[in-house]
Structure 1
Amino acid sequence: MQGKHLLLVIGVMVIWGVNFSAIKLVVSQLDPFLIAAARFLLATFPIIFFVKKPNVHVKYFIAYGLVFGTGIWGMAYCSIAFGLSSGMASVLLQLDVLTTIAVGALLYKEVISKQMWLGIAVALVGLILSIVYTNGNITLLGFVFILISAICWPLMGVIIRHSGTKSPFAFNIWGMLFAPVPLILLSLAVNGVDGLVATYEQWNGSAWFSVLFQAYPTTLFGYWIWNKMILNYPMSKLAPLTLLTSVFALLSGYLFFGETLSTVQWISCSLFLAGIVAVLYPSNANSEQKGRSFKRLFSNRKAKYRRIPTQ
Structure 2
Amino acid sequence: MPFTHVLLALAVVLVWGTNFVVIRWGLDELPPFLLATLRFALSALPWMLFMPRPAVCWSRLIAFGMLLGVGQFALLFLAMRSSISPGMASLVIQMQVFFTIGLALLIWRESLRVYQVMGLLLAVGGLGVIASHLNAAVTGVGVLIVLAAAFSWACANLVAKSVGRVNMLHFVVWSSAFAVPPLFALSWWLEGAPTVMLGVLQQTSPAVWATVVWQAVGNTLFGYGVWNWLLSRHSAAQVTPMALLVPVFGMSASALALGEALQPWKLQAAALVLAGLAVIVLWPKLTQPRPVKAVVKG
TM-score, normalised to structure 2, is 0.90
Tell me if the contact between 1:36 and 1:74 (Cα under 8 Å) persists in the aligned partners.
yes
Q: Work out which of the two has the higher radius of gyration on C-alpha atoms and give 1 or 2.
A: 2
Percent of residue pairs identical: 29
Q: 1:243 to 1:164 in 2, by over 3 A?
A: closer
Is 1:244 aligned with 2:252?
Answer: no
Is 1:265 aligned with 2:233?
Answer: no
Task: Note the C-alpha offset of 1:83.
Answer: 2.3
Q: 1:165 to 1:263 in 2, by over 3 A?
A: same
Q: 1:102 to 1:64 in 2, by over 3 A?
A: same
Tell me if the contact between 1:69 and 1:176 (Cα under 8 Å) persists in the aligned partners.
yes
Letter in 2 for 1:76: L
Task: Note the C-alpha offset of 1:206.
Answer: 2.5
Partner of residue 295, structure 2: none
Partner of residue 294, structure 2: none
Partner of residue 103, structure 1: 103
Partner of residue 117, structure 2: 117
Q: Extract unaligned runs of 5+ from structure 1.
A: 289-311
Partner of residue 294, structure 1: none
Task: Note the C-alpha offset of 1:226.
Answer: 0.8
Task: Note the C-alpha offset of 1:52.
Answer: 0.8
* Deviation sequence 1:232-255 (CA, Å, 0-9, x none): 111111111111111111111111
Is 1:209 aligned with 2:210?
Answer: yes
Q: 1:161 to 1:248 in 2, by over 3 A?
A: closer
RMSD: 2.0
Tell me if the contact between 1:99 and 1:154 (Cα under 8 Å) persists in the aligned partners.
yes
Letter in 1 for 2:244: L
Structure 2: distance between partners of 1:137 and 1:8: 33
Partner of residue 169, structure 1: 169
Structure 2: distance between partners of 1:34 and 1:89: 20
Matched residue of 1:282: which SS? helix
Q: 1:97 to 1:31 in 2, by over 3 A?
A: same
* Deviation sequence 1:251-286 (CA, Å, 0-9, x none): 111111101121122112111110111122335898
Partner of residue 297, structure 1: none
Task: Note the C-alpha offset of 1:197.
Answer: 4.3
Tell me if the contact between 1:165 and 1:171 (Cα under 8 Å) persists in the aligned partners.
no
Structure 1: distance between partners of 2:288 and 2:189: 47
Any residues of structure 2 matched to 1:126-141 within 5 Å, and which?
126-134=126-134, 136-141=136-141
Partner of residue 230, structure 1: 231
Letter in 1 for 2:209: W
| Higher mean C-alpha deviation, range 235-244 or range 188-197 | 188-197
* Deviation sequence 1:268-308 (CA, Å, 0-9, x none): 211111011112233589899xxxxxxxxxxxxxxxxxxxx
Partner of residue 306, structure 1: none
Tell me if the contact between 2:65 and 2:178 (Cα under 8 Å) persists in the aligned partners.
yes
Tell me if the contact between 2:100 and 2:158 (Cα under 8 Å) persists in the aligned partners.
no
Structure 1: distance between partners of 2:107 and 2:156: 14
Task: Note the C-alpha offset of 1:218.
Answer: 1.6
Tell me if the contact between 1:36 and 1:183 (Cα under 8 Å) persists in the aligned partners.
yes
Is 1:5 aligned with 2:11?
Answer: no
Partner of residue 92, structure 1: 92
Tell me if the contact between 1:113 and 1:287 (Cα under 8 Å) persists in the aligned partners.
no
Q: Extract unaligned runs of 5+ from structure 2.
A: 290-298
* Deviation sequence 1:152-197 (CA, Å, 0-9, x none): 1221123223444623221111111111111111112222317524
Tell me if the contact between 2:29 and 2:204 (Cα under 8 Å) persists in the aligned partners.
no
Matched residue of 1:43: which SS? helix
Partner of residue 293, structure 2: none
Structure 1: distance between partners of 2:43 and 2:128: 36
TM-score, normalised to structure 1, is 0.87
* Deviation sequence 1:27-85 (CA, Å, 0-9, x none): 14321111111111112211111111123222222212111111011111111113211
Task: Could you list the structure 1 runs, at least 4 aligned residues long, displaced by more than 4 angstroms after superposition.
Answer: 283-288
